[in-house]
Structure 1
Amino acid sequence: MNDTNEVIEVARVFKNLGADEAKAQVMASQIIKRAERIAKEKESSKVDELRKLLEIAVLGAQGLLKPSDQALLHPKKPPNA
């Protein structure tokens, strides 16, 4: 997939979340660049990092946290606490 198509596809996610076309394009470009930087730092796949970032963005737009982050904010109390 070339860069233009990649931005268009990712921008579609942001448009579905309610962003206008111009803002969706900007956010898509930014999140793709961030995924590239993370992938380089971690020596991982850009696609995997982009998937993780998009998951966070979608959950955030819904006012939710990833289950792993939710557990950090609200740890389970011991049964006899």
Structure 2
Amino acid sequence: MSISIHWHVAFELLKGIFKGKENKKINWMILAAFSCSAFAGVIFLNTVLLNKITAYWLILLLGAEVMTVSIFFLWARRRTA
């Protein structure tokens, strides 16, 4: 259930990028990209490699979140001064 919800949210976010364009064609292109990435993941990834990629992703995400919070803190501080 969680995967379905996350894929649906990602699909809707990507559809929002292409507002005003031919929706049916864009929708099928997004779904094709999702399907190809899922098939490629099943073919090329095993459990050990997926765990390594996940660990690196979480480390990168932690650094990006710290940097984002720091930038917003400095921005808010500059704005009030």
TM-score over 0.5 for the pair: no
TM-score by length of 1: 0.40
Rg larger in structure: 2
Higher helix proportion (structure 1 or 2): 2
TM-score by length of 2: 0.40
